Amino acid sequence: MTVDARELLEVARAAAAEAGKLLVEGRPADLGVAQTKSSPTDVVTEMDTAAERIIRAAIRRHRPEDGFLGEEGGSESGTSGVRWVVDPIDGTVNYLYGLPAWAVSIGAEADGVALAGVVLAPQLGEEYTAVRGEGSWLGGRRLRANEPDGLAQSLVATGFGYRAERREVQGRIVAGLIGQVRDIRRGGSAALDLCSVATGRVDAYFERGTHAWDRSAGGLIAEEAGARVEGFHGAPASEAMVLAAGSALFPALHGALAALGADDRDY
Ligand code: IPD
């Protein structure tokens, strides 16, 4: 079966636009908490659930035979070989607090490989897109990840998990890293962090604890901008680790993180 990745991208863009509109225009003043996941700070808003429903319906209209994995709705297998990996709001806490760095993230994958993806940040007015093999784009601008002059010159983004115990370990790792790099950033949306690697707004990003829906579209966008996006020791990016950086910086950051025990600790 041949898949037209550009067609998948257009389906993704249309679905993201619908969801983005709902999320901006429909954000209630007294934004409520629909449910909580692993801890009270992992807030899943009612809007999150509503946006995923819209995305699912928009995709189904065009591609009823595809599978679906959404942060809020679990998974559904399809028969076409294509699976959509969706985070209706990546950066839920930013959204909840009224910070603009949140995004609708939609990736289309075949056999676990992302073919097309969109990360739409409506309040930043930014739409990032990529099709495998055809580069990544911010609106009409082709993206290229930075190749900074060594680890010490690198601006490194990261994120922290929802569980306090994990955050404490992550904080210690960052404390060990911060003196070795230019500085650290914590934006609050893994998808946008990956896009920031693609644009060169940061030089690298790493995090333990992300999910497939946080990484699918943004990972492709970073890769198509020339970054390496992997886990530790040649493993693919996974919940255990996603590390994204230009090819010269990647080994230096990987080495620094491994030396800090980021690869082997039970956290
Ligand atoms: C979270 C954000 C955050 C990252 C967390 C993610 P969510 O996604 O991407 O930046 O640090 O690991 O879970 O919960 O807002 O969709």
Pocket test for ligand 1, best of 210, 211, 215 (most atoms within 8 A of CB): 210
Q: For position 43, what pLDDT does the model report?
A: 39
Measured from the CB, is residue 159 less than 6 Å from ligand 1? yes
Measured from the CB, is residue 210 less than 6 Å from ligand 1? yes
Measured from the CB, is residue 88 less than 6 Å from ligand 1? no
CA neighbours within 13 Å on the CB side: how many for 226? 13
Q: Which domains does the chain have, with CATH numbers?
A: 5-142 (3.30.540.10), 151-259 (3.40.190.80)
Measured from the CB, is residue 170 less than 6 Å from ligand 1? no
pTM of the predicted model over 0.85: yes
Q: For position 31, what pLDDT does the model report?
A: 60
Cβ burial, residue 20 (10 Å; 0-12/13-18/19+): buried
Measured from the CB, is residue 92 less than 6 Å from ligand 1? yes
Measured from the CB, is residue 209 less than 6 Å from ligand 1? yes
Distance 37 CA to ligand 1 centre (A): 12
Which token pair is 102?
A: 């949140």
Q: For position 175, what pLDDT does the model report?
A: 98
Measured from the CB, is residue 70 less than 6 Å from ligand 1? no
**DSSP bridge partners of 72:** none
| CA 95 to ligand 1: nearest atom | 15
Which token pair is 195?
A: 């896009």
The length of the chain, given as a count of residues? 267
Which token pair is 6?
A: 């550009």
Measured from the CB, is residue 91 less than 6 Å from ligand 1? yes
Instruction: Tell the residue number behind the tokens 């010269």, with chain if given.
Output: 248
Which token pair is 134?
A: 């055809």
DSSP string, the chain: ----HHHHHHHHHHHHHHHHHHHHHT--TT--EEEE-SSTTSEEEHHHHHHHHHHHHHHHHH-TT-EEEETTTEEE--SSSEEEEEEEEESHHHHHHT-S--EEEEEEEETTEEEEEEEEEGGGTEEEEEETTS-EEETTEEP-----SSGGG-EEEE---SSHHHHHHHHHHHHHHGGGSSEEE--S-HHHHHHHHHHTSSSEEEESS--HHHHHHHHHHHHHTT-EEE-GGGPPS-SS-EEEE-TTHHHHHHHHHHHTTTTT---
d(CA 176, CA 189): 23
Distance 144 CA to ligand 1 centre (A): 24
Q: Decide if 71 contacts 85 (C-beta within 8 A).
A: no
Amino acid at 114: A
Q: Which residue has the CA at smallest separation from atom 6 of ligand 1?
A: 210
Instruction: Tell the residue number behind the tokens 């409506």, with chain if given.
Output: 122
Q: What is the pLDDT along the chain (267 residues), one digit of tens a residue?
A: 678 999 999 999 999 999 999 999 988 666 644 444 443 333 346 788 899 999 999 999 999 999 999 988 878 899 999 999 999 999 998 998 889 999 999 999 999 899 999 999 999 999 999 999 999 999 999 999 999 889 999 999 999 999 999 999 999 999 999 999 999 999 999 999 999 999 999 999 999 999 999 999 999 999 999 999 999 999 999 999 999 999 999 999 999 999 999 997 789
Q: For position 30, what pLDDT does the model report?
A: 60
Measured from the CB, is residue 136 less than 6 Å from ligand 1? no
Q: What's CA 190's distance to the chain center, in Å?
A: 4
